[in-house]
Structure 1
Amino acid sequence: MSLMPAAVLFDFDGTLIDSAPDILTGINRLLDEENLPNLDLAQVHQFIGDGAPMLVTRTFAAVGRPLDPDSVSAMTDRYMAIYEALPADPSCVFPGVAETLASLSADIPLALVTNKPERATHAVLEAIGLAPYFKAVVGGDSLPTRKPHPGPLLHAMAHLAAAPGKTIMVGDGANDVTAGRAAGCQVVCVTYGYPRMPVEQLGADRLVDHFRDLPSALADLAAG
């Protein structure tokens, strides 16, 4: 393999998997329990990326019943129980992801850094067959901070014994770019994910339209 970074960190939802349909199913079942109107997929796309509590908070605000702070935790727990009971569908993995991760992980350490709760992340990874490729998994509730704070990325790099200047973050949104920059990493963004602004405006070092193009982008950045 050509010159590559010392390690690569990956976002999960919108980068490796199309999780929005399952998230929509889970959130609408919660809304059904509360006799509230359902969301559509476009709305859920805008609510993904900042962790389960924020997803739930935005959902209830969108349907006209904002939650007080004391209710967010209980509703989030109910949502996660529903979501974790849904069967993970291997078809949610974006094209080229499994093959590319298999190739990369044979030569360099990979970590997953997501705002999705850690237990749910591990369950989905196992169900869709991607778990073996990652030497570390940092979820949105693994640490006191989550992306866009750099803490989760720094934690993952410490686990991999990788220096920030030689590590690349791969994601799909502003949280990934902000966290990557703050952690001292270069950043690659995929163009097919769930950004809440035009991906060209995120400020990533490279954009890739297809996951199978990622190795060449990584090599290009590693070469300087």
Structure 2
Amino acid sequence: MSALPAAILFDFDGTLIDSAPDILTGINLLLDEENLPKLDLAQVHQFIGDGAPMLVTRTFAAVGRPLDPDSVPAMTDRYMAIYESLPADPGCVFPGVAGTLASLRESIPLALVTNKPERATHAVLRAIGLDGLFTAVVGGDTLPTRKPHPGPLLHAMAQLGAAPARTVMVGDGANDVTAGRAAGCRVVCVTYGYPRMPVEELGADRLVDHFHDLPAALADLALQ
């Protein structure tokens, strides 16, 4: 068996990029339109990871004006319009990500599996120069399901022609671990993301403190 996996799936926000500042800017612009108080960065860290509708829902609950479920789609659309209008900062890419992905891509197919809407994901990838590295991109609205459901991971693996037992999911939170386990993958978590709980308690197979440590963790996984 090869020392490395047959395919690698990556989360986006909190794993490859520090998107929280841009998300905070977008959500605060929306709140300003609604004459509501702004959030701070620590709050946004807790709200990221479950898709834009949940981000918007949690935001409005936090500022004291919970949304009626019927109004969530329209408010989410407004938030996404604001967010997509913001220029993505190439500096949001975590250290070591670009070079490590490019190196892995030479021998292993890579996919991005995120709960961020697909159109916004492609736009950010283009803006930060990572768009040519992934064979497949699965967003939070690509399928009827999103992480922690295993469906998006299984969809990505089908596009890569990879078996779950030879695939590794790389993420930063419980959704990535839960989806990876349900899909039959091994899971590696970075320790610098937005996990909403101690990363040591997520149940990942391996933890990496720096993205450039990922290849060693992958080789160690496959050799077990």
User: What's the TM-score once normalised by structure 1's chain length?
Assistant: 0.99
**Distance in 1 between the 2:95 and 2:81 partners?**
28
Q: Deviation at 1:222?
A: 1.2
Alignment-derived partner of residue 171 in structure 1: 171
Q: Can you list the C-alpha shifts for 1:75-115, whole angstroms capped at 9, x where unaligned?
A: 00000000000000000000000000000001000000000
For residues 223 and 123 of structure 2, what CA distance do their matches in structure 1 show? 36
Q: Hey, what does 2:102 align to over in structure 1?
A: 102
Q: CA deviation at 1:126?
A: 0.6
- Cα RMSD of the aligned pairs, angstroms, is 0.6
Q: Which runs of 5+ in 2 are unaligned?
A: none
Alpha-carbon displacement from aligned partner over 1:114-165 (angstroms, at most 9, x marks no partner) = 0000000000001100111100000000000000000000000000000000
The whole-number CA distance in structure 2 between the counterparts of 1:172 and 1:12 is 9
Secondary structure of 2:132's partner? Answer: helix
Q: How does 1:39-50 map to 2 (within 5 A)?
A: 39-50=39-50
The alpha-carbon deviation at position 223 of structure 1 amounts to 1.5
Q: Deviations along 1:27-52, whole A, 9 cap, x unmatched? A: 00000000000000000000000000
Percent same amino acid among aligned pairs? 87
CA distance in 2, matches of 1:38, 1:25: 10
Would you identify which runs of 4 or more consecutive aligned residues in structure 1 move more than 4 Å?
none
Aligned AA (2:211): F
- For residues 126 and 71 of structure 1, what CA distance do their matches in structure 2 show? 31
| Residue 16 (structure 2) aligns with | 16
**Number of aligned residue pairs:** 223
C-alpha distance in 2 between matches for 1:106 and 1:44: 35
Which residue pairs with 1:199 in the alignment? 199
Aligned to 2:5: 5
Instruction: Specify the alignment match of 1:161 in structure 2.
Output: 161
Query: Which ranges of structure 1 fall in alignment gaps of 5 or more residues?
Result: none
Match in the other structure for 1:52:
52
How far 1:214 sits from its partner (Å)?
0.1
CA distance in 2, matches of 1:121, 1:218: 25
What is the identity, as a one-letter code, of the residue corresponding to 2:221? Answer: L
Question: Offset at 1:13?
Answer: 0.0
